[in-house]
Structure 1
Amino acid sequence: MEEVILVDDQDKEIGVMEKMEAHLKGRLHRAFSIFIFNNKNEMLLQQRAAGKYHSGGLWTNACCSHPRPNENIEDAAARRLKEELGFETPLDKIFDFTYKASFDNGLTEHEFDHVFAGIYSGEMNINKNEAENVCFRSMEEIESDLQTHPHKFTAWFSLAFPRIKNWKNTASAVA
């Protein structure tokens, strides 16, 4: 049985719940999203496996998941990146946000999402139970696709992308 960490709107832990129950009830829980860029400053996109419990076949950021009870969020992010895409790279936490999205199958994602970024341009060993495909795309291409074909992307990616773009622009201005 996989459990998620229930949190309040300040990310303070208030309990645990079985993952599917939390998604059926729309309970706020801790999660993370990882954004990976290559040495050309392109973003890694993952097409979720068709058999995922929601959003199957949609494009999204490199990796998303939930930390296990008593698992450090940074350790969970590194673990899941290795499990899904088969590589390791240093990750930096860049921001967090809360969102709520309901799906046609009756599930609701209500997450306090910790967002990490990293750089990687090497080989990947994709777990086909998690991802059907991956590709690197420029921020401009992704932004255009989000405007013309928003239905091809996950709900959380559409919400996080403008924040990632802002973060990238701010980081570039400082560099």
Structure 2
Amino acid sequence: MNTHDNDDELLVLVDENDVEIGVLDKTSVHKTGVLHRAFSVFIFNSMGFLMLQRRALQKYHSPGLWSNTCCSHPRKGEDIKSAGTRRIAEEMGLKCPLNFAFSFTYRAELENGLIEHEFDHVYFGFTDKIPKPNPDEVMDWKLISMRELQKDILAHPDNYTEWLKICLAKVVEHLDEK
């Protein structure tokens, strides 16, 4: 079992202002739906295409679904941007600078009664490098235009993670402001 899907991994619990209030194991967090700190990374290439990953089938939730380039949780005491850089390397075999875009809070009920309730910090990165995904984390990847992604999510919503569907409108809005 890889470290990331370790049920004993401790997640940072936060209040609605992202102030740390404790830690709890990952399984308990996702069973109870308690608010916790997370990050989502969106990597674009020089043509503006977004790199998506398809989650490995052995993932404990949302297996086989398409999602943003990388998402995870910082460790206790770990800087969020550093955690994003670490996880992009671990999941996608990529190194590229990340830039903070925005934060938001969401709650989504997943399969098997699990709940994602995250204070999510969103980062953007840009690279034309080809990823070398970790097969324990990622079963496939692709580049897609934002317009095509939006159309495909509308046509086939069950192929995508809940957090990508929730976050995408905010990503597009942020990109349009730039």
TM-score by length of structure 2 reads 0.94
**Partner of residue 33 from structure 2, selected from 22, 26, 32:** 26
Q: Deviations over 1:23-60 (max 9, x none)?
A: 11111000000000001100011111111111101111
- Distance in 2, Cα, partners of 1:97 & 1:75: 19
Counterpart code for 1:74: K
Counterpart in 1 of 2:163? 156
Q: Secondary structure at 2:112's aligned position in 1?
A: coil
- Distance in 2, Cα, partners of 1:104 & 1:5: 22
Structure 1 segment 26-175 matched on structure 2, within 5 A: 26-171=33-178
Number of residue equivalences: 171
Q: Secondary structure at 2:58's aligned position in 1?
A: coil
- Distance in 2, Cα, partners of 1:161 & 1:101: 14
- Distance in 2, Cα, partners of 1:78 & 1:155: 23
CA RMSD of aligned residues (A): 0.7
Q: Deviations over 1:118-149 (max 9, x none)?
A: 00111221101111100000111001001111
- Distance in 2, Cα, partners of 1:113 & 1:157: 11
- Distance in 2, Cα, partners of 1:32 & 1:147: 24
- Distance in 1, Cα, partners of 2:117 & 2:16: 11
Measure how far apart 1:87 and its partner are: 1.0
Q: Deviations over 1:46-100 (max 9, x none)?
A: 1111111111011110000000011111110100000000111010110011111
Counterpart code for 1:28: L
Counterpart code for 2:88: L
Counterpart code for 1:48: R
- Show structure 1 runs of 5+ residues with no match: none
Contact 2:12 / 2:23 at 8 angstroms: preserved in 1?
Answer: yes
- Distance in 2, Cα, partners of 1:88 & 1:165: 23
- Distance in 2, Cα, partners of 1:103 & 1:170: 31
- Distance in 1, Cα, partners of 2:131 & 2:151: 26
Measure how far apart 1:106 and its partner are: 1.7
- Distance in 1, Cα, partners of 2:41 & 2:127: 12
TM-score by length of structure 1 reads 0.96
Runs of 4+ in 1 over 2 A off after TM superposition: none
Q: Secondary structure at 1:55's aligned position in 2?
A: coil
